[in-house]
Structure 1
Amino acid sequence: MKKLILILIDGMGDHVSNKMGYLKALEEAGQGEKFTLKSELPSISRPLYETILTGKTPLESGIINNQINRMSKEESIFSVARKSGLRTAAIAYHWIHELYNGPFNMEEDIEVENLEKNINYGRFYWEDNYPDSHLLTLTNRVIKDKKPEFLLLHTMNIDEAGHRYGGLSKKYENKVHKLNFYLSHFIPLWQKQGYEIIVTSDHGMDEKGNHGGDTTLERKVPL
């Protein structure tokens, strides 16, 4: 049986994807393939999490802004996997819990282990600057201990830097370089454990540190 890790890099536009030298090396060696996508509108996070994980556009799902914090009404990768008897996991921002497991309580839901939920094994955070390095280490531990068939890893540091400094800034690019380093360490380990890896983003970031609109910097993302 194939196992899958979906790495969702929040806020990484395609214009900085060439800074991911390790992923580019896999592509040049014939061990990976790169595509460029145009995100749905509005090009903001919560609606696009729903699009990526259910296949529905924001207008179809009704998740059309970041303030809508109800549970998804759609079939998601998590719910389909669970109905098929597969184990699911997410190391992700707490909005993912709100969409697919229900209301989030930081005292109770920082760690989730419940086979009745759409996300069986969860490790959730709520600060945008929570270190990507910690997230990948947590992911590695969940993979070792729980062996899920589907896992979502969702990072926020690139998005956070983009909002602070702009999508064309050196500090934004530096966060891409850092995440590339962490991925080069962990992806080979996960491949050895039988996982296929997909890396993508929800939206990009314009030069002023904004997204939500229809510009190329905001909508063009790598896969």
Structure 2
Amino acid sequence: MSNDRVVLIVVDALRFDTACTHMGYMQHLVERNVAARYEVRSEVPSLSRPLYETILTGTPPIVHGVTSNYTIRLSTQQSLFHLARSNGKKTAAAAYYWVSELYNRAPFNFAEDRLQMDKDQAIENGIFYFEDHYPDSHLFSEAAWLLQHKQPDFLYIHPMNVDNDGHLFTADSKEYRNRVLAVDNLLSLFIPQCLEQGYEVVVTADHGMTADGNHGGNTIEDRHVPMFIISDQVKPEIVEGAVSQLQVAPLICRLLAIEPSIEMVPLLLKGM
């Protein structure tokens, strides 16, 4: 039975094909009928800030208006953080500072905004980093602290090292593939903690990464990312065919047992 508490993990720049070949722990959960695996087609442009907003509001760039990484302003939409707070739920995030700029304050104040605890904001408790090479291991430690000490109903986690190595070495590199192995290992340590505390877990990505060491375009390498769901409400199976990234936000609303915003599309995921 659902406890209406969700951890959403967005691994920046995690390609679908590399997730399938190099995430042994996540595939283990699929094979043991614990997790479902979906192939998600991102919105375009397949850039980070626009797709953070898409994932967290369930709206495409043409609606939410964040069409570039240089669009620095607060969101104009009802995000998952806003919806959770309006339903009396606690929110938290361990994420890149652009997430704070979308939902708490823009521009990010580097002297004041790294730690945001017990705030009357969309993200009630936030730990935000601002270096792309900030270690994923540190981030998951901070997420574990939030889980234990703040006990949020909705926790958003956003590691960046896969994206950073993709830009430095390209997706067709041992460094990129080894970084995917590394984040899978971190997930193997963190996800059991979430399950023990009664959370449902969703692991996905904003966009992919190309052999040119970039993203933003319309190729499968740019756009196709994984989504693993661990929930009693979702049948544990491999779902064939790509689904829209716009399904992520209404999915999280369903798992949190809250009404989606009027801008979100209907939830049509197979296996629900």
For residues 142 and 214 of structure 1, the distance between their equivalents in structure 2, rounded to whole angstroms, comes to: 36
Q: Which residue of 30, 33, 39 corresponds with 1:30?
A: 33
Measured after TM superposition, the shift of residue 115 of structure 1 is 3.9
User: What SS does structure 2 have at the residue aligned with 1:129?
Assistant: coil
Note the alpha carbon deviations across 1:72-111, whole angstroms, 9 max, x for none: 0000000000001100000000000000001211111110
2:166 alignment partner AA: G
Q: Does residue 84 of structure 1 match 2:61?
A: no
For residues 115 and 99 of structure 1, the distance between their equivalents in structure 2, rounded to whole angstroms, comes to: 15
Q: Which residue of 172, 176, 191 corresponds with 1:172?
A: 176
Measured after TM superposition, the shift of residue 189 of structure 1 is 1.2
Corresponding residue of 1:58: 61
TM-score computed with the length of structure 2 as normaliser = 0.81
User: What SS does structure 1 have at the residue aligned with 2:51?
Assistant: helix
2:52 alignment partner AA: Y
For residues 57 and 41 of structure 1, the distance between their equivalents in structure 2, rounded to whole angstroms, comes to: 8
Corresponding residue of 1:39: 42
For residues 73 and 193 of structure 2, the distance between their equivalents in structure 1, rounded to whole angstroms, comes to: 36
> How much identity, in percent, do the aligned residues show?
44
User: What SS does structure 2 have at the residue aligned with 1:51?
Assistant: helix
Measured after TM superposition, the shift of residue 113 of structure 1 is 1.4
For residues 215 and 43 of structure 2, the distance between their equivalents in structure 1, rounded to whole angstroms, comes to: 12
Note the alpha carbon deviations across 1:190-216, whole angstroms, 9 max, x for none: 110011000000000000101000011
> What residue ranges of structure 2 are gaps of 5+ in the alignment?
228-272
Q: Which residue of 2, 7, 10 corresponds with 2:9?
A: 7
Corresponding residue of 1:96: 99
User: What SS does structure 2 have at the residue aligned with 1:34?
Assistant: strand
User: What SS does structure 2 have at the residue aligned with 1:99?
Assistant: helix
Corresponding residue of 2:141: 137
For residues 68 and 47 of structure 1, the distance between their equivalents in structure 2, rounded to whole angstroms, comes to: 8
> What residue ranges of structure 1 are gaps of 5+ in the alignment?
none
Note the alpha carbon deviations across 1:137-170, whole angstroms, 9 max, x for none: 1100111000000000000000000000001111
User: What SS does structure 1 have at the residue aligned with 2:126?
Assistant: strand
What root-mean-square deviation, in Å, do the aligned CA atoms of Structure 1 and Structure 2 show?
0.7
Measured after TM superposition, the shift of residue 125 of structure 1 is 0.4
Moved over 2 A (4+): none
For residues 35 and 23 of structure 1, the distance between their equivalents in structure 2, rounded to whole angstroms, comes to: 12
Corresponding residue of 2:202: 198
1:53 alignment partner AA: L
Q: Which residue of 120, 128, 132 corresponds with 1:128?
A: 132
For residues 163 and 27 of structure 2, the distance between their equivalents in structure 1, rounded to whole angstroms, comes to: 21
- How many residues in Structure 1 have an aligned counterpart in Structure 2? 223
For residues 107 and 191 of structure 1, the distance between their equivalents in structure 2, rounded to whole angstroms, comes to: 35
User: What SS does structure 2 have at the residue aligned with 1:148?
Assistant: coil
User: What SS does structure 1 have at the residue aligned with 2:13?
Assistant: coil
Q: Does residue 149 of structure 1 match 2:153?
A: yes
TM-score computed with the length of structure 1 as normaliser = 0.99
